[in-house]
Structure 1
Amino acid sequence: MIKVSVMYPNGPKTKFDSEYYKNSHLPMIAEALGEDLKAMEFNIGIGGRTPGALAPYIAIAHLTFESVASFQSSFGPHAEKFAADVPNYTNVEGELQISEIVS
């Protein structure tokens, strides 16, 4: 199994509409990916390493797939549609990481 994490960097000028992301963007992704998407989790950053510090990421989405191939084949055809929706919820570019789930 693999996890695809999309992490949105935080900063003083970062804007992120978590309601839009949760209620519109993520459901659009789930519908498009269908059965290839095994699980999805959405986290909102609330703090950093020290008290009062900003969270390094304002939001993180985790998507679980059986394999890199299943992620690529299901996500690829919709990548442009997903990217076109980004300005509707944030003014920052998300960082994407693919990880192997080891436990």
Structure 2
Amino acid sequence: MIKASVMYPSGKDVKFDVDYYKNKHLPMVTNAIGEALKGLELDLGLGSRVPGEPAPYVAIAHLKFDDLDTFKASFAPHVALFAEDLKNYTNVKGELQISELITF
């Protein structure tokens, strides 16, 4: 299984509409990708290792897929749609990391 994580860095002038992201953007992504998506988690940053400092990321979405080929086939056709919606919830570009998911 693989996990595609979209990480939105926090910062002084970063704006992020959690309500829109949770209730509009992520459902749009889920519907577009369809059955290829095996799981979705949303992390909302609360802090960092230094007490009182903000989390390095305001939000991280984790999308799970069976394998890399499935991710590419189901995600790639919708990249422009997903990117176009960015302006509706944030002013920062998300970073994408694809990882092999190992559970214990």
Q: Give the TM-score normalised by the residue count of structure 2.
A: 0.97
- CA positional deviation for 1:79: 0.5
- CA positional deviation for 1:85: 0.1
Say what the alpha-carbon RMSD is for the aligned residues. 0.5
Give the 5 Å matches for 1:9-48: 9-48=9-48
d(CA) in 2 for partners of 1:10 and 1:21? 15
Structure-2 residue corresponding to 1:60: 60
d(CA) in 2 for partners of 1:5 and 1:26? 13
Q: Deviations over 1:6-59 (max 9, x none)?
A: 000000111000000000000000000000000000111011111110100000
The number of residue pairs the alignment matches comes to 103
Q: Deviations over 1:69-103 (max 9, x none)?
A: 00100011111000000010000010000000122
User: Any idea what SS the aligned residue of 2:42 has?
Assistant: strand
Runs (5+) with no aligned partner, structure 2: none
User: Any idea what SS the aligned residue of 2:76 has?
Assistant: helix
> 1:87 corresponds to which letter in structure 2?
K
Q: Which runs of 4+ in 1 moved over 3 A?
A: none
Structure-1 residue corresponding to 2:85: 85
> 1:19 corresponds to which letter in structure 2?
D
Q: Give the TM-score normalised by the residue count of structure 1.
A: 0.98
Structure-2 residue corresponding to 1:99: 99
Structure-1 residue corresponding to 2:6: 6
Identity of aligned residues (%): 58
User: Any idea what SS the aligned residue of 2:15 has?
Assistant: coil
> 1:63 corresponds to which letter in structure 2?
L
Runs (5+) with no aligned partner, structure 1: none
